[in-house]
Chains A and B, each alone.
Chain A
Amino acid sequence: MWGEDKILSLLKDIINKIPFERKEVSLSINSQELTRFANNTIHQNVAEENLSLTMRVGEGKRKIIVNTSDIDKEKIDKLIQDLYDLLKAQPETEELYLPESEPIPEYEKNLIAPSPELRADLVKNFIEKAEKHNLDAFGALSENTTEFGIINSNGVEAYATYSYAHGKVMYMGEGSGYQEELGKNLVSINFEKLSERALQKCIDSRNPEEIDPGIYTVILEPLAVGELFEMLSYFGFSAKAVQEKRSFLNLYMGQKIFKEFINVFDDGLNPEGIVIPIDFEGVPKKRVDLIKNGVPIGPVYDTATAAKEGKKSTGHALPPPSWGPAPLNLFFTPGEKTLEEIISETEKGILVTRFHYVNAFLDPIKVLATGMTRDGTFLIRKRKNTKNL
């Protein structure tokens, strides 16, 4: 960890050397460790620390972005010199919009001290379970920490950190079962419950059967819902997509197209998710209702898209250069029934654990997604989860 003082001090030194009217300098330092296991063996076990320095500058209707991982003083000075030529060569298109300073909300700082030993111990438990059932265990455990600072010519001076851990476990024999979860750290994830669930899915998925193509009631488990919503957010909930008329919001904004109980929001400060208090322009993250009582509302804004509509950024800028803002902290409000209750109400249907290779480029406006099911797809018959498909 560099810490706030060191990062902001470096950024101040750099921004003071840049002569343009609008300028922004940011530094992001990321460390991640990951243990990967397959066939009851750890086969990849890695750690890295990397940094990324980005400068955005603008004059009139010209703007430019440069990025480097080399912060040697001479290299940065050369890069600043290059900015003149790069900016001069740009045709006039649109100005660089930068945010004004806003107070950063209080947030619980969560920093992980990564431990290869802890990851190895968890993997041992997964493998023991697999061996008891004559199965193989697969998956990955990762620990990630990022600190970043941003300074701009409008007075923004922001610094934040965030950490998260992620675990996935899969068992494979004649069939396969899979579960994954995100947490503040590895200890906060209930791996016992997670691995038991994956194991049971694997056991239940032996002797798969085929069914005829047709129209079925489908129950999507959270992982599958998440993958579909990732597509919805990527293609639809960006203000840039709306402004370019390529979002489903252009067709359905304000119309009730979902059931009353469908509520989706984005909230970077919600402690249930990965808390990131500011976006990559240094703007505090705001909670945004994307779908309320079945009505799409959205979208989310960064500074540039907000300026075009005379609005304020909602704090959803991605690292530059980006294709516009995006919601990164999606929450789907839970309903009132348990999964078991929903299954018990279903005479005939299909239960999907997760999807594979989902994308929606075929018709991005309607978010027509294609993908395949994997690792636990079951037929529900007579209100019970019965056969693996």
Chain B
Amino acid sequence: MHLLLIYQTIKKPSKKAFQIAKASASVNKKKVVLAPAEVYKTKWESYYKIDPFSVPFEKKLDLLFTADRIMREVKGISLTEAYLSFFKEDKVFLSSEGSEIEQSILESGGGITAYAIEGGDIQRRSYPNSFGGDFRKGGWEFIEELDLMGNAERIAKEAVALLSADPLPEMVTTLILDGTQLALQVHESCGHPTELDRVLGMEASFAGTSFLTLDKRNNFQYGSEIVNIVADATHPYGLGSFGFDDEGVPAQRSYLVKNGLFVGYLTSRETAVIFGEKSNGTMRADGWNRIPIIRMTNINLLPGEMPFEDLIASTDEGVYMAVNKNWSIDDKRLNFHFGCEIAYEIKNGKLGKIYKNPYYTGITYEFWRSCDAIADEKSWRVWGVPNCGKGEPIQIARVGHGVSPARFRKVKVGGK
């Protein structure tokens, strides 16, 4: 671009930025202080095998319409949805401190949903997850791994079967959550309340605050001793991975909860300074037109030691719930109510009949303190959540949650 054109392009926004800064300064009494950060001059690229943008459009449509047709062929299916989504972002970060960082990010995702509708009842099943499926750093190879066509008939039949299933009875029982629902549980009840900007009130009038107040760091039993949760932006395929955040701080892995004890927050340069610490690198903007705010990276519940099959087999009585359908949690992230697409009865260590409209409810720390088993690495996987809303104007972040299924005791469950 010609230098004059660059000057003309940036003149108006620069003038506006100056006007805004002056207006802010007329109100603010304290200066912004940033924690120190290293200077980097480097490039970072996310890993993928097959560029999805090089895959012919016809091939993508063929996959979607074939999966769609398979679902529709199941008697009783009224509506179907099939998605593929690809995201490519090139970013350049320059700072007056001297950093020059280029990043290239490629993400892929997809999923399918079948709806069975009869009278006043609507039941749905999604694969591999609801609200668009699963997403990760990667290319077309991930879409092939998902095998949407191979799962289309199964979920369609499950949606139809749910129409004649009983609603889950209300009770207090043992609850095992599948990976997709547990990912959302981690997102809502650990990810959001550990965002230090929320804790400090910066989101108070919109997204809310947090029950994990400053006095609780290293001083609050968040969960049982087997609960270990890390923020890990370095994971190779996590949707919340990157090389550097949007303050130029490198991706890191840090504990939020260690052996059940709450030990850390997601921080930025402006917030970490209150602890006299450096940022752990979680500032991200959802595009060129938004300012960076603290966002989850990959908030991962570390795996336990028991194979998933043993988790079910060692449960005498309880409920196994899968795939999120509905979510509500209060502004401090304490009281929650989550609904799932399907529940299975567990009796004498075996999965039994299905129930519809299942939900469970609880208080965050009581729930995590009741966690007595987490499945092992074999069933551990980072699930991508591409639609985390926060900030004003709203910003949609793409984040990840590594989990394997886990078991919780004495949980209040029910069905409509």
Q: A370-B339, A374-B330 in contact; A361/B202 too (CB < 8 A)? A: no
CA distance in complex: A85, B206 (Å): 44
Q: A34-B393, A89-B57, A119-B23 in contact; A39/B78 too (CB < 8 A)? A: no
> B327 contacts which chain A residues (CB < 8 A)?
357, 359, 370
Q: A47-B20, A123-B27 in contact; A39/B200 too (CB < 8 A)? A: yes
Q: A362-B359, A362-B416 in contact; A85/B57 too (CB < 8 A)? A: yes
A377 → chain B closest CB, angstroms: 11
Contact with B along A47-65 (1 / 0, CB 8 A): 1101000000000000000
Q: Which residue from chain A places its CB closest to the CB of B60 in the assembled complex?
A: A89
> B13 contacts which chain A residues (CB < 8 A)?
47
B interface, size bucket:
35 or more
Q: Do B200 and A363 touch (CB < 8 A)?
A: no
A interface, size bucket:
35 or more
B294 → chain A closest CB, angstroms: 12
Q: Do A246 and B79 touch (CB < 8 A)?
A: yes
Picked from B23, B293, B329, the residue with its CB within 8 Å of the CB of A372 is: B329
Q: Do A168 and B19 touch (CB < 8 A)?
A: no
Contact with B along A345-369 (1 / 0, CB 8 A): 0000000000011111111111010
Q: Is A186 an interface residue (CB 8 A)?
A: no
CA distance in complex: A168, B205 (Å): 8
Q: A358-B328, A372-B329 in contact; A42/B200 too (CB < 8 A)? A: no
Picked from A86, A117, A371, the residue with its CB within 8 Å of the CB of B328 is: A371
Q: Do A46 and B325 touch (CB < 8 A)?
A: no
Q: Is B30 an interface residue (CB 8 A)?
A: yes
CA distance in complex: A138, B287 (Å): 25
Picked from A127, A244, A366, the residue with its CB within 8 Å of the CB of B27 is: A127
Q: Is A38 an interface residue (CB 8 A)?
A: yes
Q: Is B331 an interface residue (CB 8 A)?
A: yes
Q: Do B205 and A170 touch (CB < 8 A)?
A: yes
B332 → chain A closest CB, angstroms: 9
Q: Is A385 an interface residue (CB 8 A)?
A: no
Q: Is A91 an interface residue (CB 8 A)?
A: yes
Q: Is B29 an interface residue (CB 8 A)?
A: yes
Q: A245-B78, A365-B120 in contact; A45/B24 too (CB < 8 A)? A: yes
CA distance in complex: A366, B120 (Å): 7
Q: Is B351 an interface residue (CB 8 A)?
A: no
Q: Is A172 an interface residue (CB 8 A)?
A: yes
Q: Is B16 an interface residue (CB 8 A)?
A: yes
Q: A120-B23, A140-B392 in contact; A38/B201 too (CB < 8 A)? A: yes
B295 → chain A closest CB, angstroms: 14
Picked from B16, B58, B337, the residue with its CB within 8 Å of the CB of A370 is: B337
Q: Which residue from chain A places its CB closest to the CB of B206 in the assembled complex?
A: A140
Q: Is B117 an interface residue (CB 8 A)?
A: yes
Q: Do A89 and B61 touch (CB < 8 A)?
A: yes
Q: Do A374 and B208 touch (CB < 8 A)?
A: yes
Q: Is B219 an interface residue (CB 8 A)?
A: no
Q: Do A245 and B117 touch (CB < 8 A)?
A: yes
Contact with B along A107-124 (1 / 0, CB 8 A): 000000000110110011
Q: Do B205 and A140 touch (CB < 8 A)?
A: yes
CA distance in complex: A129, B22 (Å): 22
CA distance in complex: A34, B291 (Å): 12
Q: Do B117 and A246 touch (CB < 8 A)?
A: yes
Q: Do B122 and A45 touch (CB < 8 A)?
A: no
B291 → chain A closest CB, angstroms: 6
CA distance in complex: A331, B241 (Å): 44
> B27 contacts which chain A residues (CB < 8 A)?
37, 41-42, 120, 123-124, 127
Q: Is A32 an interface residue (CB 8 A)?
A: yes
The interface centre, meaning the residue of A85, A139, A356, A358 with most chain B CB atoms within 10 A of its CB, is A356
Supply 21 A–B pairs (Cβ within 8 Å), ascending by A.
A34-B393, A36-B392, A41-B30, A45-B21, A47-B20, A48-B289, A85-B57, A116-B24, A120-B23, A120-B27, A138-B201, A138-B205, A139-B205, A140-B392, A170-B204, A251-B120, A357-B329, A362-B325, A365-B121, A372-B329, A374-B208
Report A's interface with B, CB cutoff 8 A. Answer: 32-39, 41-48, 50, 85-86, 89-91, 116-117, 119-120, 123-124, 127, 136, 138-140, 142, 168-170, 172, 176, 178, 244-246, 251, 356-366, 368, 370-372, 374-375
| Top 4 A-B residue pairs of the complex, sorted by shortest distance between their CB atoms | A116-B23, A362-B326, A372-B330, A120-B23
